[in-house]
Amino acid sequence: MIPLYFKIYQQIKDDIRDHTYPAGSFLPSENELVTQFQTSRDTIRKALAKLDEEGLIQKQRGKGSQVISHQLRHFPISGLTSFHELEELQHFHVVTEVPVFEHLTVTKKTQKTTLFPVGTPLYHIVRVRIIDGIYSVIDEDYIRADIVPGLTKDIAKHSIYAYIENTLHLSVAYAEKTITAELVTAMDRKLLVGLPEDENRLIQVESQGHLTDTTYFQRTIARHRPDQFQFNEFARRQTT
């Protein structure tokens, strides 16, 4: 069941995207929307809150809700977006190679690289993303095999997230991400065919994924070719 406020949110979002509400214009007032959608003001406000959070509108007390005009058409790496979703959204041609696909159990030695406790059964998967012909990213995953069973190389080639959410019906709740610039290793150079000689670092996005019950189940280390990397964020300073 989709909540009413969410439907209203989607409708207004569509209306912004197709310029029914052009950039810079004001949405109808909350009271007008109440009569338009025949609902309560709180429901309208929830819908507007989502639009505000995503950076689609700017609310101004005493004035109204203004549609924000964005300079950059968002390349949505922000949030938690998988490559598969990216491909569909942006019409890039992505080829995925899977050079490593193995089971392992965490030992004292591998504890530090996986950040899982000793004894945890894991999938260890390395994927290389070739975007429009350029070897762009190395994705290294450590995924708890007791929580995400039945993974195959074929699933890894398509979308692990789709498998987790649609097939296993697990809900990914949140992830902690860290972006750094790390030195290129010999292995990196082997996997990222065509990486220029003078590039000495890759941009690393490390991500620790958790389920709704806060279980830590996945660690991903994505290493991007620096000239192919871009990360966008919409950041609010305060709640007005």
Could you tell me the smallest distance in angstroms from the CB atom of residue 21 to DNA?
Answer: 12
3-state secondary structure of 239: coil
Instruction: Name the nearest CA neighbour of 138 among 154, 150, 127.
Output: 127
Please give the residues from 57 up to 96 whose contact with DNA meets the rule CB under 7 A: 59-65
The CA distance from 138 to 181, in Å, is 14
* Choice from 12, 16, 21, 27 touching DNA (CB under 7 A): 27
- The answer to whether 124 and 100 have CB atoms below 8 angstroms apart is yes
How far apart are the C-alpha atoms of 1 and 189, rounded to whole Å? 48
194 contacts a copy of itself (rule: CB under 8 A): no
Q: Applying CB under 7 A, does 39 fall inside the site for DNA?
A: yes
Binding mask 200-219 for a copy of itself (x = CB under 8 A): xx-x---xx-x-xxx-----
Q: Nearest distance from residue 170's CB to DNA, in Å? A: 11
Is there a contact between 33 and 44 (Cβ–Cβ < 8 Å)? yes
Footprint (CB under 8 A) of a copy of itself, residues 87-116: 115
Phi-psi sector, 68: left (phi>0), alpha (psi -120 to 50), beta: beta
Q: Which residues of 14-29 are buried (b: 16+ CB within 10 A; e: fewer)?
A: eebeeeebeeeeebee
For residues 139 to 178, the per-residue mask of contacts with a copy of itself, x marking binding by CB under 8 A and - elsewhere, is --------------------------------xxxxxxxx
User: Please, what is the minimum distance in Å from the beta carbon of residue 60 to DNA?
Assistant: 6
Least distance CB 20 / DNA (angstroms): 16
Residues in contact with DNA by the rule CB under 7 A: 1, 3-6, 27, 29-32, 38-43, 45-46, 48, 59-65, 239-240
